Amino acid sequence: MIDRAKLLQLHRQLLKGSRTASEEIAAILLSALTNELCGDFRHLDPARVSDGVTDAILDYSTHPGSFDPKRSVPLDRFLRHNAWRNVANIVRSEKRRRQREGIAAGMAPVVELHPAVGNPLQNEITKRQQEQEREVASLDEPLDREVQKLRQSGERRTEAFAKILGISHLPEADQRREVKKTKDRIDKILRRKARDPQ
């Protein structure tokens, strides 16, 4: 049972600048809202559901003014609504990622199942694969080659690249920055090599 009077009190403390109220709100709502939303998103990993709930609580904690108690929606319902939206966004992005992976994975069997010489589609795919292999081979650093191969496979998740780069221990924002830096650097190298093959 959620103590709404306590939550309202914590909300007022947050508005006044309390540094500790965010933790108390998380302690009260994180588990309760995650359990509730796991019912709405039965096929999703509970950890991903909790990420959506966490983001809602963290966002609210840094901007407590986003909640207006006068609107007669209790804080837990307000955060549940925001958390639901966050989890739905996670579901959408995972779906898009799976679609991309499916497209990327679907290309390889075409090459294996229909190796007919002269088939224009086959030729185009082979040409593209050769171009990709050339790109990878043109990179001097083994790590860059691994990153480029992963990009070519359609992977877009930062965590997958962070694993290769050995930076999984860093905060997400730092991982994103480092991964972007690496990709940009690889793109520059490839552009330079395309311009000047020697």
Q: Is 94 in the site for other proteins (CB under 8 A)?
A: no
Q: Which of 174, 180, 187, 194 binds other proteins (CB under 8 A)?
A: 174
Task: Measure CA 156 to chain center.
Answer: 8
Told to check if 172 binds other proteins by CB under 8 A, we report yes
Q: Long-range contacts for 119-128 (Cβ within 8 Å, ≥24 apart)?
A: none
What is the per-residue binding string for other proteins in 26-45, x denoting contact by CB under 8 A? xx--xx--xx--x-------
Among 1, 5, 16, 19, binds other proteins (CB under 8 A): 19
Q: Taking CA 13 as the corner, what is the angle to CA 12 and CA 15, rounded to the nearest 5 degrees?
A: 65
> Of 1, 5, 17, 142, which lies in the binding site for other proteins, with binding defined by CB under 8 A?
17
Tell me which DSSP letter residue 19 carries: S
Q: Is 61 in the site for other proteins (CB under 8 A)?
A: yes
State both tokens at 162. Answer: 């962070």
Q: Does residue number 138 form part of the binding site for other proteins (CB under 8 A)?
A: no
Identified binder of other proteins from the candidate list 50, 82, 148, 182, rule CB under 8 A: 50
Q: What's the number of CA atoms in the CB half-sphere (13 Å) around residue 115? A: 2
- Residue choice 7, 10, 11, 49 for contact with other proteins (CB under 8 A): 49
Residues 131 and 137: beta-carbon distance below 8 Å: no
Output the CA angle 50-160-174, nearest 5 degrees. 75
- Distance, in Å, from the CA atom of 169 to the CA atom of 75, rounded to the nearest integer, reads 33
| Residue at 143: amino acid letter | L
CB of 184 to other proteins, least distance (A): 9
9 binds other proteins (CB under 8 A): no
Q: Does 86 help bind other proteins (rule: CB under 8 A)?
A: no
Q: Does 131 participate in binding other proteins (rule CB under 8 A)? A: no
Q: % helix / strand / coil in the chain, to the nearest 5? A: 80, 0, 20
Residue number with CB closer to other proteins (133 or 172): 172
Please, what's the largest Cα pairwise distance for the chain?
74
Site residues for other proteins per CB under 8 A: 17-20, 22-23, 26-27, 30-31, 34-35, 38, 46-47, 49-51, 54-55, 57-58, 61-62, 171-174, 177, 181, 185, 188, 192, 195
